[in-house]
Amino acid sequence: MAAKKAEQGLVDQWRDILAVHARTLCELDRELHRHGLGASDFEVLDVLAEGAATDGGASYRVQEIADHVHLSQSALSRLVARLERDGLVTRGMCAEDRRGVRVCLTPKGRDLHGEVLPVQRAVLTRMLADQARGRGEGQGQEQDPGQGQGRG
């Protein structure tokens, strides 16, 4: 009986984590949509803006970006292509092996990142502080994880 209770506690904790993630992602998408971005778009811009790639350069291999964002390789490639079409990043061949692709922020991408960084950090602060403060505040008021999604 104690083992079953402990197992249920783990399941409940896992579901709480998923709920916080879903609510936070929905809120990020809602706030960033005003700037023409989604949460995943911002994460890629944020990785590119954070600093130097592993080789010390200003551009990142797509695989390096993939190590930091939770997207499949194909989803990340589509996202990078969209960011490039929007003029936020550039892509180029990797000089080291000619098979890889390097991605770099454009000045427009850097400016947009700087504009929305405080928005993203404010959402994280608000959503995660709510979670840490009160696991009690809002308990029992589960939002549908799909609610608020869609950027169209």
Which tens digit of pLDDT belongs to each residue from 42-101?
A: 999 999 998 755 555 578 888 889 989 989 889 999 999 999 999 999 998 876 676 678
Strand residues in the chain grouped as ranges (E): 60-61, 89-93, 101-105
pLDDT greater than 50 at residue 138: no
Which tens digit of pLDDT belongs to each residue from 91-131?
A: 988 766 766 788 999 999 999 999 999 999 999 999 988 77
Predicted confidence at residue 89, as pLDDT, reads: 96
Q: Strand 89-93 relative to strand 60-61: parallel, antiparallel, unpaired?
A: unpaired
The pTM of this model reads 0.77
Return the amino acid letter for 37: L
- Single out the residue of 66, 85, 86, 84 nearest to residue 76, CA to CA: 66
pLDDT, average across residues 8-27: 92
Predicted confidence at residue 54, as pLDDT, reads: 55
